[in-house]
Amino acid sequence: MSENFSASLSENILTLLVFNDTKIATLVSNIEVGHFENIYYKTIADKAIDFYKGFGESPKEHIADLLEKELNSESNGDIYKKILSNLYDNSNSINVDYVLNELERFIKVQTLKKSTKKVMELLQYGKVEEAEDVLSNSKKSLVTTFDPGIIFNVNNEEIFNSIDTFEEDLIYTGIETLDTLEHVPTKKELYTFVAPPSRGKSWFLIHIAKFALLQRKKILHVTLEMGEKRLIQRYFQSLFSLSSKISDLQEYNAVFETEKNGELYRINFSKVPKVKTLRDEGIIPYLKERMEKTLRPTTNLVIKEFPTGSLSINGLTRYLDNLETYHNFIPDIILVDYLDLMDIDPERLRIDLGRTCVELRGIAVTRNIPVVTVAQTNRTAEGQVLITRKNLAEDFSKVKTSDVLIIYNQTAEEKARGLARLYIDKGRNGRDGDVILISQNYSIGQFALSSVKINNSYWDVLNKKEVTNV
């Protein structure tokens, strides 16, 4: 865009601000005084915006009153008179639709100019991280500029296409019952899994990632607790049912037997077959062969470790931008392990946790992808047979912000038998309150081998203690 074109467009936008009642609301919600480079335009825009905020309309003929001091100035009064004269002339001939169509481009150019100047100033003083924040915030504003949303009418094919592409918005978990009930990660939503300490939060995310990989999705797995290498080992276990070492192998897997109506009738147990371990001789060639057969040769999974307590939302945004810029990698889903270990001040736990949840969901919305995170239950949940939102206390912000909230439940007896219950505390697309029983075997990296929906009769089935080798 040339400087002359920019100046002309600035004047046209200013004309709408001063004279157009129909479009001024749209302009005020998107434009800032700082977008105008000309100091005289800045002053006029500031007066027009203030007038709108006070009276709900453009100033029109009142603009001369608002600029009385400036118009009577000996040094620059003539400049203001000439500009106002041009605005009056433009108001009768301006192509409103054209100006609005160019508005987004104008804002982008002016925002980039302003950001570039600020970045250069910060770099002169060695403030690299602050400069990165400016660039990140600049890009964020460009993404969201002048988005009208979806216009619902018969002529807009987008609303009908949304029906055909609904399945594309979902990422199935591989937990059959959960998928059937549509409690699955969905674009623009925050999906939260809450569990007590050391109860499979990381395994859950790996399970989600595994089935996303099989759906040919691109995944970013952010870890703030477990090291990257350890996480990679777990991925190998989950993908190919490997044991870390044979001595840790769980002996039996739970198998669910159901009635014709789908209700759980009995829990059987099958002996776990002999499996390979990560310590076997020749395991690396075996893994390479399995990966070539199972996964696409392109990069579909990125694992990134950040130090505990160091990752802010701005930091995550910068990383996503750099990942796209330098590696052309745009994830279809982001996994964060885990929420409570992000940059949260313990002295401001509720405030910071709430803000982080909101901003994490903001990433899901602006980037049009699901964000899946895990969180830890607090002490009030200890010893509870069924943990619900009532037991989350200061963690209520997780409930409020999450589109889907799943809480992991497991008694000591269930743990010994490789069982766990997933309580659907909040489901945007399905019914709240469902309980799903899963069979597990962490020794071969399996968060969920099978699943079935259960009710209160489950405890009677469990207490039968029927064990059958199948």
Q: How confident is the model at residue 8 (pLDDT cuts 50, 70, 90)?
A: confident
Rg, C-alpha atoms of the chain: 29
- Split at pLDDT 50, 70, 90, the class of 102 is confident
pLDDT for the residue numbered 392: 66
Residue 17 has pLDDT above 80, yes or no: yes
For 356-373, what is the mean pLDDT? Answer: 91
**459: pLDDT strictly greater than 70:** yes
pLDDT(147) > 60: no
Tokens of 454: 């259960």
For residue 60, what pLDDT is reported?
Answer: 94
Q: What was the pLDDT predicted at 2?
A: 39
Residues 172-198 have pLDDT tens digits of: 999 999 999 989 999 999 999 999 888
Of the listed ranges 77-86, 152-161, 284-293, the one predicted with least confidence: 152-161
Nearest CA-CA partner of 335 in 296, 375, 298, 392? 375
Model confidence, pTM? 0.70
Q: What is the mean pLDDT of the chain?
A: 86
Would you call 175 exposed, middle or buried from its count of C-beta atoms within 10 A (0-12, 13-18, 19+)? buried
Q: Looking at the chain, how many residues does it have? A: 470
Tens of pLDDT, residue by residue over 252-297, are: 999 999 998 888 999 999 999 889 999 999 999 999 999 998 887 7
* 146 has a pLDDT exceeding 60: no
Residue pLDDT, tens place only, 216-241:
999 999 999 999 999 999 999 999 99
Q: What is the pLDDT at residue 3?
A: 38
158 sits in which H/E element: helix 157-164
Distance, CA of 90 to CA of 19 (rounded, Å): 10
CA separation for the pair 458, 265 (Å, rounded): 8
Percent of residues, the chain, with pLDDT higher than 90: 50
Q: What is the DSSP letter of 273?
A: P
* pLDDT for residue 193: 95
- How far is residue 144's CA from residue 156's CA, in Å, rounded to a whole number? 21
Planar angle of CA 400, 403, 406, nearest 5 degrees: 90
> What is residue 417's predicted lDDT score, i.e. its pLDDT?
93
The one-letter amino acid at 390: K
In this structure, are residues 333 and 370 in contact, taking their beta carbons and an 8 Å threshold?
yes
d(CA 409, CA 80) in angstroms, rounded, equals: 70
- Rounded alpha-carbon distances, angstroms, from residue 321 to 312, 316, 330, 331, 395: 14, 9, 9, 11, 30
SS3 126: coil
Give the domains, in start order, of the chain with CATH numbers: 3-144 (1.10.860.10), 167-464 (3.40.50.300)
Q: Which of 2-11, 74-83, 106-115, 403-412 has the lowest mean pLDDT?
A: 2-11
Instruction: Tell me: pLDDT of 394 over 60.
Output: no
Distance CA 170, CA 175 (A): 14
pLDDT at 158: 66
Residue 450: which of 418, 404, 408 has the closest Cα? 418
State the pLDDT confidence band at 141, using cuts at 50, 70 and 90.
low
**Alpha carbon 38 to its chain's center:** 38
Average pLDDT over residues 15-28: 87
User: Does 16 score more than 90 pLDDT?
Assistant: yes
**Sign of the dihedral defined by the CA atoms of residues 135, 140, 141, 142, in that order:** positive
Q: What is the pLDDT of residue 389?
A: 81
- Whole-number pLDDT of residue 465: 55
Angle at 383 between CA 377 and CA 384, to 5 degrees: 75
**pLDDT at 4 (0 to 100):** 40
pLDDT of residue 1: 37
